[in-house]
Every structure is written in structure tokens, then in C-alpha cells.
């Protein structure tokens, strides 16, 4: 802040040759201080939110004795928390499964003042796994389609009006609200997408018999499942991925391609050897940014994939590979939504709420930090 | 796929060595380069097809909303419900007017006992606060006392029955002693809890509680202690005294307001005949609607029975189902006959309304011109507004009802505007489901406006500061930090809004010297303001980053020239750089708006989810009310409706509206950027 750094102008009378303490300068200084205050106000708000969640979440996630981490919180799925008192006035707090065990073991104990707190016991393993799976499906699909589309748009497509329109449309779609993508995913993936089955459902849009087999290609949708959720998320970030990948391809100087082509390399060799390697960091950043955005989204998976409660982990209940992907999952953001707004609040729900939010935020934030770090690093490194 | 094949082929590069060898890799007569090209092209088209599919699928469900909605409105008209709707509106308009007059009356009555009432409220809040802390211990104590009493009874029984069971008796007595010890310790616990709870500050603040003086506080503290522990039969003398004084003052105040009271009472009585007419008409129209629904679902029921008969293997069952299918009557009801009783009631309604209008006009004149309290003045002012609306509504409804006919045609424009401009979003109703966008749109729009008003100055100030004034070290730290905000998942922010920010905002709103702020003190935690402020926070990174980019793109020469001309740094910033970058700034604001209006989780969690157009008569105080939003309603209701129902399609239509809004905003942003770039 050059203006602030200057010494205050000398008093009148001390030095008759000094410049007048101009009101302009004073105004300049006030305005720049105001601007600074506004900037730091934003940062203070951010810090406050982080600290509030961290201070209340850390006691849930960590503990003072070995192993210092609340293992149960990371290895169990959410379940109902029971609080009750015995006739003797002893207070107990335990998960529902332990509670049933306790009652079986101590039939003589008279339980009074019993309360149940939905989703407040156990841990967050199920939602964490679900979010990881959804994100993985989404990133695989989005990168496969987005990367190739970007390569086509930037390397192969002839420049012209049509391509500009396509690009404009893609850019516009990046701003469409996520809930609208949720609606679309529900309409397409959950209700119309094709499946191969021998008994097509009535609601199928239409069915096509597959020759030489008894099966049909039935456009009846995948139902509410992981695959539908992952694809919906993929479609949601597709515009972002395409735009980001194209940006990083565009940033590579034309000379690289020209030099390669001049040496007799084919188009594909040029792309493979002298374009993609240099565009790689940008694409990596884009995909990590995509992960950040996708992992935090709730609206698109609300009706396409997420489930508030599930006893089994995905691999426990899956019969086959197809079965694995066609089951609904718990997901962190949806879990947070559930514990924040859809259950009666009490002091016993707080640890679950803050613990989940803290862990979720740390995970998402570390991806965001990674992408920012990588971007800054490669920006410094790659200069031509 | 073909790419992998292409890769394998890429290993053997021998072209040129053997001239007569078949040329490289071929697939359907295409060379390798072409295959690769088409692979990429295919993927690009796939992406484009998907993006087109989005539009198609949204539009498919959304457009199908209109015919269904049209049909629904048509049966609403044919069954005469629309006619009754006018009467309902009249009564509602009256209620609004009347209740404001009523509020004004009570404000006047309570004006002299304000202090006592405030103290009593504080007392009640304090007592509730203490009870909240202690009620668990109380429960425990009660249980122990009960158990002890049971034990005493048991011991007595033992003595009476058999003197030989001494052993048993000593055992029970020992248990009793134990219990009594428990009771003792619980009592002392309780006392400690009460004594510490009564010192907590938050239990002494709340809506309508004045700032307590030390004296008042100690008096209330004593009264609460008296009541809370040990549980007293009567309330503390000071509280009884307060109540008595408050009652007396109210009685004295009411004496001076006998006329006012009579007027308000007369207002309430005046509408009675209209209300009974309303319920009579509602009964008829509901019956009509049932008839119509029976007719409209008959074909489907019949088809379902037929289908059931087709599928079943049991011939007896089949015959039975077929008979039942034949029994389903598909006879269109005689609408003229259905509506006859309603038409018959119209003249009576005209009569009632005429007398009601005269009566209410007289009563309105009788309302006192000058009142003493500020809140009564406000309520009377609002009563006047609602009186005018009531008059307008009466005149309008009266005229409409005379020309109304159940067979009037309903245009597509009419049903569309019933959606776009409809003031009600009522679903799962036993009367009629209304799908009006206006309450949701107003909610979304108000929240976005608040968010923008807050976010724009902060983010632009931050962008200017970072880009122009801050040193490189500050830049390196602030830019990623603000971008970091964008990565906070929205559900986390919503969670923060519910648990922390809502409480904090309400507490701040109750600080007495902040009362001048419109809408303060707030009674609700989840309000438009809360959602707006959180969304402002969310919009900051978008607006900041884009504005910063725009400022960065201003050529260096501009700055240098300006400085060389002798301008100060800030003059350069505000007169040269910002005006040059203005297109970028506007685009940034527009994109920020797009981000805010499409945000779902924060508004779903924090906006209060009340489907009603906020009451604008409160001026800027409207921000303290809860609202519902377009995004929130989809998230909330879509999971609970049947696929393909009218409600489902209405939600898709809302999604379509959001889609169009966001496309328009994006388009406008890009146009702004382009237009100013040319200049």
C-alpha cells in the first residue's frame, strides 16, 4: 500500500517549503484504507466460518488418547443414537445396535427417560464411501468425454461460425443451476436411460429386442442409483471441464504444433507428443477443480443417487458388477443436509453434525488447495 | 475402442521401407488419422448431444405441464369452484383488514402496561430458561421421590401382612435410605443448577423484553428462584403484583377505548353472514368437484380393471373384474345442473356484499383517527391499506361474479398467466391445487437482490484493492484465500446458516439501539436476510475473480498515461481503470447473479421455506420474513411427488424457468463483454 506507507505530511509551519497536506491525499488515503477494510472483512468472515466449524468439529474427530483419532467415527455408518437413564440415575449414550445388545445383556435394568436421535450415532464411513464412488464415476465419465471434446474442438474442428456457436452454448451451460441438472438427470438417467434386461418394465419409453438373445434393450432408466448420480454430476461439470481443457490446449503456442508437423509427424503424433504433455498440468488442475465442485454438490444427487440411510456398504449388498453400480448410496453432502435440517435437533445431534461438516470441509478444501497450489506452481514453471 | 487399436498400430512405424506393403491401418476404408479424428469428433458430438438432451428432457416434462394445468383450471371453473374462489378472496381481504385493526386496538390497550408486560415476558423467559436447564434433574428427582413413596407403602404393607418378614423389611428400609440420599443429592444438584442458570444472560433477552435495570433484574431473579426451586404453589408476590397492575392498567386503558372495541367487534360480526354463505358454497362446489373428478378418472379406472382382467389367469376373477369394469360409468356430469345451486346463491351474495360494504365503510370511518402508540399507528396505517384493497376486491369480485359462467372458455394465455402470475402455490389441497410461480419467484428474486447489494461493493472493493493497491505479498495471499471461498460446499454454508448465523443474526437484531434497522428485531431465525447474506458470501469469489481479471486486462499504458498526467493513484483507479473495465465488471455482476439465483442448498436450509409472497407493506422490513424459492421448491418437493403427475410437471416447469433465467443472464454477460470490447 504505497499511500499508507508514506509518512504523514509535516505540519504547517514546521517546514514552509513542504507540500500542503492536500485534502486529495487525505481522501485517497481514507478510500484505500476503506478498500482494504472491505477486503479483509471478507477474509475475516471466511476465517470465522472455518474456525467455528473446526473448533466444534475437531473434538469429535480427534481425541486426547491414542490413537488420537476417533476411529469409530471413520469406520461406522450413521445410525440412531440412543440416550437413556437407568433407574439408578446412571446416564448412557450408545448406538442403537449397542443399545439392543445392552438390553439383551442386562434384562434386569430398568430403563427410563429414553430418547432416540436419528442419524446421530455411529460414524460417517458410508457417506464418505458413497461420495468417493460418485466422484470417481463422475470424473471418469466427465474427463473421458470432456477431454476428447476439448481436443476435437481445439485441434481438429475447423474454425467457423458453427463451432463458435457450439462453444458459446457449452459456456452458457456452465452457468445453469445444479438443481436443473438434477432434474435432467432424473428425467434421463433415472427414467429413460437404456438397460439390458429380459423383463422390460411397463414404464419403459420403448424397448428394442436384441437379436439372438432373449434380452431387450429397454429404455426404462437406471432408477435412483450411483451410476445415475455419477452421470448427472458428470454432465453438470462437463461444460466446465471442456472449457478448462480447451483453455489449457489453447495456451500451448502454435509453434509447438507447427514444428512437429514440419518434422513429418502425423496429426495424432503431434497431439500426443507435443501438445498433450504440455497441456497436462492445466487439465489436471481442471479435473481436481471438478472434483472439488462435484464432491460438494447436493442438489443433483438428491433425487438421482443419494439415500439418507443404508445399513450395508455398497460392496456388501452388491450381487454383481451391475448390481454394484445400480444401488443408491449415502453421500456426505446429503448426509449433512439430513442431519442439519431433517432431524429434530438436540445436544446429542451436534457432534455428528459438526464432525461430518468438519471432515467434509477438510476433504473438499484439500482438493481445492491442491488445485490452487498446482496452478500456481505450473504457471511459474511453464513459460514460453 | 478404435483408439486402442490405433495405439497398437502406432508401435510399428515402417512406412516408406516397403513400398508394396498394404498401407498402414484401415478401418472401414479410413486411414488411422481419420479414425482418430472421427473418434474425437464422435466424442465431441456426444457431448453436444448430451447437452441438447438436457434441453429436450427439461422441455418435454415442462411443456406437458401446460395442457394438464389447463385441464385442471378448466374443471376448477366447470365445477363452480372459481365462483366460490371470489367469495373466499373477499373474506380473506376482510380478515386482513380486520386483523390489523384488531392489532391496533390491542396495542392501544396494552400501551399503559407496557413496562409490566415487558417484565412479565422477561420473567416467563427467565423461568423457561431455568426450566430448560433443570427439567432433566426435576424428572429424575420426581422419579426418585415416587420410588421412595412406593417403597414406604411396600414397607407398611409388609408390617401389616406378616411380621415375620423382618429380613425383607430391613432390606427395603436400607434401599429407602439409599433413595433418600439420592433425593438429597439431587435436590442439592438442582439448587446449584437453578442458581447458576438464573445468572445466565441469554435467558433474560428476547423479543419484546426491555433492557432490565439492576433492580428489576434482581427482583425477577428472586421471583424465578422462588418459582423454580423449591417448586412453589403460588407465584412470587412481586409477579402477582405485576400481573395485577398490568390487568388494572389494561382495564383502565380499555375503558377509554370502548368505542374502538365496539368498532372492532362490529367488524368481526359484519362478515359473519358472508362467511356462512362461503361455507355453504364451498360445500356445493366440493361436491361438484368430486363428480367431475369421478368422471375424469373413470376411463383410467376402467382401463386398469380391464388390464387386470387380461393379466389374471383365474377365469372367475377375470369375469368378476370385467363386470366391475363394465360397471364403471363414464357419463359426463351435467355442469348446468351442478352449478344451479351456486347460481342461485349469487343474488344473495350481491345483497350481503352490498350491506357489508356499507357497514365496513361506516366502521372504517369510526376507527379512531389518532392513536397514541407507534405500533398502533403503523397497524392502523396498514389497516387503511388493506381496507382499500378490500374495497377494490369487493367491487371486482362482485362484478366478476355477475358475468361469470361455468362454460366460459379458458384460453391458453389465461392458464399460462395463471402459472406465471399466480399468487398461490398450494399443493395436496382438498380444494384445488394452485401452481403460481409468483411467490417462489419473489422469494428467489428478493434473496438475490439482497445478496447482490451486499456482495457487489465488497467484492469490487476487494478486487480494486488486490489489483491496484495491495503489494505482491498481499496479492499472493488474498487471491487464493478468496478463491477458496468458492470451494466451500454450499450445504456447509447452509448448515452454518442454520446453526450459527441464524442465531447470531437474531441476537444482533434484538440489540436495542439497532431497532431503526428495517425488520429488526427479528422473530425468526430463518429469513430472507439470513439467506441473502450467506449467498452474498457465496457470490463474492465469482464477482471478485472476474472483476479482478477485468481490471488486470486494462492495458498498462492507460495507467501510465494517467499517472503521467498528474493524477493520483486512486484518481487513476476510479476515473481510468474502472471505467475501462466496466464491461468486465458488469459481466462479473451478472454471472454472480446467475450463481446466486441458481443456488439451492443454502436457500433450502436457511430461507425458512414459507410459500407465500412476502408482505411488502412492511417496507424494507420484508427481509425479516421467511420465503421459499424456485430452487428450494424443486429440491423439497420433487422427491415426494408421483412421476408424471401435474405437480411433478409443475416442478419441471419451475426448473425450465430457472434454466431460461440462467441462460439469459449468461447470454447478457457475454453480450456485455463483447459490446464493450469493441469500443
- What's the pLDDT tens digit per position in B322-361? 888 887 777 777 888 888 888 888 888 888 888 888 888 8
Measured between alpha carbons, how far is B444 from B533 in angstroms, rounded to an integer? Answer: 13
Whether omega for the bond prior to residue A296 falls within 30 degrees of 0, making it cis, is no
A127 and B CB contact within 8 Å: no
Unique residue bearing C-alpha cell 517546514: A15
CB pairs under 8 A between A and B: 268
Q: Which pLDDT score, from 0 to 100, does residue A47 have?
A: 93
More confident residue, B393 or B453: B453
Q: What is the pLDDT of residue B12?
A: 46
The helix (H) or strand (E) run that includes residue A93 is: strand A91-95
Supply the pLDDT for residue B232. 63
Q: Is the pLDDT of residue A38 over 90?
A: yes
Residue B425 has pLDDT above 60, yes or no: yes
pLDDT digits (tens, 9 = 90+) for B88-131: 888 888 888 888 888 888 888 888 888 888 888 888 888 888 88
For position B115, what pLDDT does the model report?
81
Q: How many other β-carbons are positioned within 10 Å of the β-carbon of residue B276?
A: 11
Nearest chain B Cα to A267, which residue?
B33
B675 pLDDT exceeds 80?
A: no
Instruction: Test A184 with B54 for CB contact under 8 angstroms.
Output: yes
User: What mean pLDDT is reported for chain A?
Assistant: 83
CB < 8 Å to A266, chain B: 32-33
Write phi, then psi, for A208 (nearest 5 degrees).
-120, 120
* C-alpha grid cell, residue B643: 412421476
- Residue B295: is its pLDDT beyond 50? yes
As given in the structure block, the three cell numbers for residue B46 are 456426444
What gap in Å lies between CA A35 and CA B467, rounded to an integer? 11
Residues B39-51 have a mean pLDDT of: 84
Residue of A nearest to B499 (CA): A340
In the numeric block, which cell numbers belong to residue B495? 448448515
- Taking only Cα atoms into account, the Rg of chain B, rounded to an integer number of angstroms, comes to 36
> Helix, strand or coil for residue A85?
strand
Whose cell is 443419494? That residue is A306
Q: What is the SS3 string spanning A188-209?
A: HHHCCCCEEECCCCCCCCCEEE
Residues 259-318 (A) with a CB less than 8 A from some CB of B = 266-269, 292-293, 295-299, 302-303
Q: Reply yes or no on whether the pLDDT at B679 is more than 50.
A: no
Chain B residues with beta carbon closer than 8 angstroms to that of A268 = 6, 10, 32-33, 36
Q: How far is B47 from chain A (nearest CA, A)?
A: 7
pLDDT score for B447: 94
Q: What is d(CA A134, CA A331) in angstroms, rounded to the nearest whole number? A: 8
pLDDT digits (tens, 9 = 90+) for A114-167: 788 888 888 889 899 999 999 999 999 998 888 899 998 888 888 888 888 888
CA atoms of A308 and A297, how far apart (whole Å): 15
- The C-alpha cell 424459492 sits at B629
Summarised one tens digit per residue, pLDDT across range B303-327 is 888 888 887 777 888 888 888 888 7
For the stretch A332-353, pLDDT in tens is 999 999 888 888 888 888 888 9
Instruction: Calculate Rg over the CA atoms of chain A.
Output: 29
Quick one: pLDDT band at residue A1, thresholds 50, 70, 90? Answer: very low
Average model confidence (pLDDT) across chain B:
83
ipTM summary value: 0.87
Sole residue written with cell 395436496? B428
For residues A311-336, give the mean pLDDT.
80
Could you give the angle at the alpha carbon of B357 between the alpha carbons of B356 and B358, nearest 5°?
A: 95
3-class secondary structure, A266: coil
Buried b (16+ CB within 10 A) or exposed e, B169-185: beebeeebeebeebbee
Report chain A residues whose CB lies below 8 A from the CB of B494: 337, 340-341
Residue A384 confidence class, pLDDT cut points 50, 70, 90? low
Q: Which residues between 486 and 515 in chain B have a beta carbon less than 8 angstroms from any beta carbon of chain A? A: 486-496, 498-500
Whether B583 contacts B676, CB under 8 Å: yes
| pLDDT, tens digit (0-9, with 9 covering 90-100), for B510-566 | 777 777 777 777 778 889 999 999 999 999 999 999 999 899 888 889 999 999 998
- Indicate if the pLDDT at residue A179 is higher than 70: yes
Residue scoring higher pLDDT (B505 or A210): B505
DSSP B287-332: HHHHHHHHHHHHHHHHHHHHHHHHH---HHHHHHHHHHHHHS----
3 state SS of B446? helix
CA–CA gap between residue B48 and residue A172 (Å, rounded): 13
Separation CA B368–CA B77 (nearest Å): 42
Cβ separation of A333 and B461 shorter than 8 Å?
A: no
By residue count, chain A amounts to: 384
**Chain A residues touching residue B658 (CB < 8 angstroms):** 177, 179-180
Amino acid at each position: 500500500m504505497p499511500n499508507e506507507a508514506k509518512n504523514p505530511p509535516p505540519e504547517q509551519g514546521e517546514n514552509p517549503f513542504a507540500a500542503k497536506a492536500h485534502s486529495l491525499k487525505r481522501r485517497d488515503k481514507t478510500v484505500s484504507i476503506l478498500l482494504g477494510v472491505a477486503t479483509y472483512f471478507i477474509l475475516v468472515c471466511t476465517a470465522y466460518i472455518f474456525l467455528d466449524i473446526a473448533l466444534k468439529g475437531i473434538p469429535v474427530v480427534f481425541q486426547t488418547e491414542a490413537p488420537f483419532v476417533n476411529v469409530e467415527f471413520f469406520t461406522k455408518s450413521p445410525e440412531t443414537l440412543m440416550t437413556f437413564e437407568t433407574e439408578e440415575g446412571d446416564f448412557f449414550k450408545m448406538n442403537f445396535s449397542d443399545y439392543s445388545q445392552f438390553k439383551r445383556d442386562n434384562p434386569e435394568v430398568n430403563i427410563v427417560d429414553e430418547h432416540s436421535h436419528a442419524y446421530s450415532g455411529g460414524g460417517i464411513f458410508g457417506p464418505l464411501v458413497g461420495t468417493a464412488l460418485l466422484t470417481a464415476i463422475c470424473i471418469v465419465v466427465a474427463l473421458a468425454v470432456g477431454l476428447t471434446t476439448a481436443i476435437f474442438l481445439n485441434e481438429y474442428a475447423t474454425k467457423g461460425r458453427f463451432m463458435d456457436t457450439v462453444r458459446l452454448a457449452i459456456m452458457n451451460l456452465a452457468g445453469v443451476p445444479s438443481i436443473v441438472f438434477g432434474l435432467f438427470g432424473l428425467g434421463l438417467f433415472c427414467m429413460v436411460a437404456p438397460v439390458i434386461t429380459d423383463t422390460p418394465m411397463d414404464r419403459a419409453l420403448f424397448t428394442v429386442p436384441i437379436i439372438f438373445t432373449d434380452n431387450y434393450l429397454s429404455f426404462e432408466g437406471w432408477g435412483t442409483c450411483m451410476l445415475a448420480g455419477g452421470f448427472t454430476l458428470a454432465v453438470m461439470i462437463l461444460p466446465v471441464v471442456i472449457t478448462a481443457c480447451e483453455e489449457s490446449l489453447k495456451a500451448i503456442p502454435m509453434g509447438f504444433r507447427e514444428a512437429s508437423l514440419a518434422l513429418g509427424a502425423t496429426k495424432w503424433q503431434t497431439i500426443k507428443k507435443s501438445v498433450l504433455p504440455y497441456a497436462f498440468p492445466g487439465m489436471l488442475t481442471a479435473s481436481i477443480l471438478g472434483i472439488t465442485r462435484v464432491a460438494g454438490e447436493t442438489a443433483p444427487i438428491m433425487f438421482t443417487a443419494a439415500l439418507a440411510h443404508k445399513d450395508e456398504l455398497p460392496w456388501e449388498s452388491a450381487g454383481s458388477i451391475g448390481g454394484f453400480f445400480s444401488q443408491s448410496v449415502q453421500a456426505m453432502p446429503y448426509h449433512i443436509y439430513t442431519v442439519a435440517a431433517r432431524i429434530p435437533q438436540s445436544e446429542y445431534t451436534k457432534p455428528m453434525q459438526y464432525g461430518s461438516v468438519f471432515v467434509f470441509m477438510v476433504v473438499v478444501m484439500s482438493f481445492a488447495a491442491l488445485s490452487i497450489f498446482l496452478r500456481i506452481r505450473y504457471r511459474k514453471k511453464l513459460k514460453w | 475402442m478404435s483408439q486402442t487399436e490405433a495405439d497398437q498400430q502406432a508401435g510399428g512405424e515402417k512406412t516408406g521401407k516397403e513400398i508394396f506393403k498394404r498401407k498402414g491401418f484401415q478401418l472401414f476404408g479410413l486411414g488411422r488419422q481419420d479414425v482418430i479424428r472421427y473418434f474425437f469428433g464422435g466424442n465431441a458430438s456426444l457431448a453436444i448431444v448430451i447437452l441438447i438432451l438436457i434441453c429436450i428432457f427439461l422441455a418435454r416434462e415442462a411443456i406437458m405441464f401446460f395442457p394438464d394445468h389447463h385441464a385442471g383450471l378448466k374443471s376448477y371453473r366447470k365445477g363452480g369452484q372459481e365462483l366460490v374462489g371470489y367469495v373466499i378472496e373477499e373474506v380473506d381481504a376482510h380478515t386482513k383488514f380486520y386483523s390489523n385493526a384488531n392489532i391496533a386496538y390491542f396495542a392501544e390497550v396494552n400501551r399503559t402496561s407496557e413496562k409490566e408486560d415487558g417484565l412479565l415476558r422477561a420473567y416467563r423467559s427467565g423461568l423457561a430458561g431455568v426450566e430448560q436447564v433443570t427439567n432433566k434433574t426435576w424428572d429424575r428427582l420426581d422419579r426418585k421421590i415416587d420410588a421412595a413413596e412406593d417403597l414406604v407403602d411396600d414397607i407398611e404393607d409388609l408390617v401389616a401382612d406378616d411380621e415375620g418378614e423382618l429380613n425383607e423389611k430391613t432390606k427395603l428400609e436400607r434401599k429407602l435410605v439409599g433413595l433418600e440420599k439420592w433425593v438429597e443429592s439431587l435436590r442439592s444438584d438442582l439448587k446449584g443448577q437453578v442458581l447458576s442458570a438464573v445468572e445466565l444472560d441469554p435467558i433474560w433477552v428476547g423479543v419484546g423484553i426491555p433492557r432490565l435495570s439492576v433492580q428489576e433484574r434482581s427482583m425477577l431473579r428472586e421471583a424465578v428462584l422462588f418459582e423454580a426451586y423449591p417448586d412453589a404453589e403460588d407465584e412470587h408476590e412481586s409477579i402477582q403484583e405485576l400481573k395485577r397492575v398490568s390487568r388494572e392498567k389494561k382495564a383502565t386503558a380499555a375503558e377509554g377505548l370502548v368505542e374502538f372495541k365496539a368498532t372492532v367487534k362490529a367488524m368481526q360480526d359484519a362478515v359473519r353472514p358472508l362467511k356462512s354463505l362461503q361455507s355453504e358454497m364451498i360445500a356445493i362446489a366440493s361436491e361438484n368437484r368430486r363428480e367431475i373428478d369421478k368422471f375424469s378418472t373413470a376411463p383410467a379406472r376402467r382401463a386398469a380393471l380391464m388390464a387386470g382382467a387380461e393379466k389374471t389367469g383365474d377365469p372367475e376373477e377375470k369375469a368378476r373384474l370385467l363386470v366391475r369394469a363394465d360397471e364403471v360409468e363414464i357419463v359426463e356430469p351435467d355442469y348446468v345442473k351442478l352449478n344451479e345451486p351456486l347460481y342461485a346463491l349469487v343474488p344473495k351474495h350481491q345483497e350481503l356484499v352490498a350491506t357489508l360494504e356499507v357497514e365496513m365503510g361506516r366502521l372504517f370511518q369510526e376507527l379512531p383517527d389518532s392513536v397514541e402508540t407507534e405500533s398502533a399507528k403503523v397497524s392502523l396505517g396498514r389497516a387503511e391499506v388493506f381496507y382499500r384493497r378490500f374495497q377494490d376486491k369487493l367491487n371486482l369480485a362482485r362484478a366478476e361474479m355477475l358475468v361469470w359462467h361455468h362454460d366460459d372458455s379458458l384460453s391458453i394465455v389465461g392458464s399460462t398467466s395463471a402459472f406465471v402470475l399466480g399468487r398461490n402455490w398450494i399443493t395436496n389441497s382438498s380444494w384445488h391445487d394452485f401452481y403460481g410461480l409468483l411467490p417462489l419467484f419473489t422469494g428467489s428474486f428478493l434473496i438475490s437482490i439482497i445478496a447482490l447489494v451486499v456482495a457487489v461493493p465488497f467484492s469490487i472493493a476487494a478486487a480494486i484493492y488486490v489489483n491496484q493497491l495491495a503489494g505482491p505479498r498481499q496479492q499472493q495471499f488474498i487471491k487464493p484465500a478468496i478463491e477458496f471461498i468458492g470451494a466451500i460446499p454450499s450445504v456447509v454454508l447452509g448448515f452454518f446458516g442454520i446453526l450459527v448465523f441464524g442465531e447470531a443474526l437474531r441476537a444482533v437484531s434484538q440489540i436495542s439501539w439497532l431497532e431503526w434497522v428495517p425488520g429488526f428485531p427479528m422473530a425468526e431465525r430463518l429469513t430472507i436476510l439470513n439467506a441473502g447474506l450467506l449467498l452474498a458470501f457465496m457470490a463474492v469469489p465469482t464477482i471478485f475473480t472476474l472483476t479482478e481479471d477485468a481490471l488486470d486486462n486494462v492495458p498498462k499504458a492507460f495507467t501510465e498515461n494517467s499517472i503521467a498526467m498528474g493524477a493520483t493513484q486512486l484518481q487513476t483507479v476510479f476515473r481510468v481503470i474502472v471505467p475501462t473495465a466496466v464491461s468486465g465488471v458488469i459481466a462479473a455482476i451478472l454471472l454472480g447473479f446467475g450463481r446466486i439465483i441458481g443456488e439451492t442448498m443454502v436457500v433450502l436450509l436457511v430461507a425458512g421455506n414459507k410459500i407465500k409472497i412476502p408482505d411488502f407493506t412492511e417496507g424494507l422490513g420484508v427481509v425479516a420474513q421467511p420465503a421459499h424459492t424456485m430452487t428450494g421448491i424443486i429440491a423439497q418437493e420433487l422427491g415426494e411427488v408421483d412421476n408424471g403427475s401435474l405437480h411433478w410437471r409443475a416442478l419441471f416447469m419451475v426448473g425450465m424457468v430457472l434454466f431460461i433465467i440462467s441462460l439469459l443472464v449468461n447470454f447478457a454477460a457475454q453480450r456485455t463483454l463483447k459490446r464493450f470490447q469493441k469500443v
